[in-house]
A and B are shown apart, each in its own frame.
Chain A
Amino acid sequence: MPNLGNKNILTDNKFYDYLNERLKLDALVDYMSKKNVPQHSHSMFYYFGGLTLFFFIVQACTGILLLMYYRPGADSAYESVKFIVSEVSFGWLIRSIHSWSANLMILSAFLHMFTVFFTKAYRKPRELTWLTGVGVLGLAMGFGFSGYLLPWNELAFFATRVGTGMAGAVPVIGDYLLVVMRGGEEVTGATIGRFFGLHVAILPALFIGLISLHLIFVQRLGMSEPLHWNQKPPQEKSYMKFFPNFIYRDALIWLIMLNVLALLAVFFPDGIGVIHWPLGEKADPFGAPPAVIRPEWYFMFAFQALKMLPAHIWFIEGELVGMGLFTAGGLMWALIPFIDRKSAMNKPSRWIMWFGIFVVLFIITMTLIGYLVE
């Protein structure tokens, strides 16, 4: 039984009193202390959202620091990143943490999303929370894609050329889209300008807006209870106070992750295995592309699936069919709370379950093929 007796553990703090007199914090603390988090065998899933937020905060801080030395442009981007990692003290650390945290943010966002999906936490009344969450993940991937090019090294250049090239296959507006993304026909210094603007201004603005909505929704609605709790008698349900118990646990996980980040950044400053970001050579638009051009791991499944499609399916281009399918699948995924009508009545739906399993297996299989099959 958690300690519910003490109304406010902060009441004997002078600093808190000072703020409270001016900002009426009591109301906020009171509101939060009434919030409870369900305790059950899958309670750990509740921490992935907060973890994603932690990595985002790290991204924002390290990103702002990198901005002090980074200079976009074909003849300065690579040089400035090299300058950061070789001349600026702790520059290697900041860049490495930024890269590690980016990957871990996407990973924890994915885990957060799938746990929400399979516990059906998106069900009424949390449809909008789900929608904003999907939007946040999309933006995070946009961050990854645009940030990858910024060092203007060989690795980034060719991956971006392939990545943006795919946009060219979109029917009707494809060519226009490609030119807008690249800032011209080819990936050049103009592309860096665009990706830089996207990465440090447009995406952060959208991201903060969307994630604020997401957090407000979560605070308003509280944590979703498992589906089967519906039939449970109230005395069998166990809860934890959101504040301070859950917050403390969150903080504990953040501290551990901060340690993990520091360890990774020091021991593997350039990443591990296929998830790596060595600075390498400067991009040479006229040079030979490296033997293996790979997107980042979270784009691998889509990249591989599109690559495996035949050139033509029936009379339509294979790539086009693939993109159509991905768009339809993504749309269905985003709208799952509205498709899964049974969930609104707290009933499990076998079809939705199988859809989710299919998506997970598809992503895992395609990613593995992408990395393991030559």
Chain B
Amino acid sequence: MPKKDVSRRGFLEVLTSGGILGVCAAIFFPILKFITPPESGEANVSQVKLEFSRADIEADPKKAKTFKFGRKLGIICVTSDGALKALSATCTHLDCTVQHRPDLGIIWCSCHNGRYDLDGKNISGPPPKPLEQYVVNEIDSGIFISKEEA
């Protein structure tokens, strides 16, 4: 076997090894990235822990804060007797975002003066349906929101 042929084969071996390493890298890079847990931790299921505390809600001039619940916007407010109430924040009339009116003790949509009570029931104005009510659980200082069991 001529020497030249041997060195050519050796070169091919090196290239092949490099190629195999490259393919392994192409496969394992995404896998390593995949198994690294993302910043948001875990999938948000039907229960959400709010990023703020009761004190934050009470400090708000309207005694309410909005939060993201799945694809929807929710509103949580402190009632005059200190209870926490969480509702869908999207008005059932034309999709405006509702607000808490501690002065009236209602949830209010400013777009067309739609009114709901603190359980989300539509009480006056254009809204045709109640707001969806969520379950609030206060554990230690964390507030957890979940869907009402069917």
Contacts and interface: CB of A to CB of B under 8 A. Distances in A.
A, B bound: yes
Interface of A: 61, 65, 68-69, 71, 73, 75-76, 79-80, 82-84, 87-91, 93-94, 255, 258
Contacts of B35: 65, 68
A79 B43 contact: yes
Nearest to B33: A89
Given A65-B31, A255-B23, A89 B45 contact: no
A76 B45 contact: yes
Contacts, number: 50
B40 A75 contact: no
A90 B33 contact: yes
Interface residues of B, number: 16
Nearest to A82: B43
Nearest to B43: A83
B80 interface: no
B40 A87 contact: yes
8 contacts: A69-B42, A73-B45, A75-B147, A79-B70, A82-B43, A88-B38, A255-B23, A258-B23
Given A87-B40, A255-B23, A79 B46 contact: yes
A91 B31 CA distance: 9
B33 A80 contact: no
Interface of B: 23, 30-31, 33-36, 38, 40, 42-46, 70, 147
A83 B44 contact: yes
A82 B44 CA distance: 9
Contacts of B38: 87-89
A87 B39 CA distance: 8
Contact of A94 (B23, B34, B46): B34
Contacts of A88: 34, 38
Given A68-B35, A73-B45, 12 more contacts: A65-B35, A75-B45, A79-B43, A79-B45, A80-B43, A82-B43, A88-B34, A89-B33, A89-B36, A90-B31, A90-B34, A94-B34
Nearest to B39: A87
A89 B43 contact: no
A39 to B, nearest CB: 25
B42 A83 contact: yes
A87 B23 CA distance: 25
B146 to A, nearest CB: 9
Most buried by A among B34, B35, B38: B34
Contact of A71 (B23, B34, B43, B70): B43
B43 A69 contact: yes
Contacts of B42: 69, 83
A91 B43 contact: no
Nearest to B146: A75
Contacts of A258: 23
A296 B33 CA distance: 31
B129 to A, nearest CB: 16
Contacts of A84: 43
A61 B31 CA distance: 10
A255 B147 CA distance: 48
A285 B81 CA distance: 38
Contacts of B46: 75-76, 79
A79 B48 CA distance: 12
Contacts of B36: 89
B10 to A, nearest CB: 11
Nearest to A94: B34
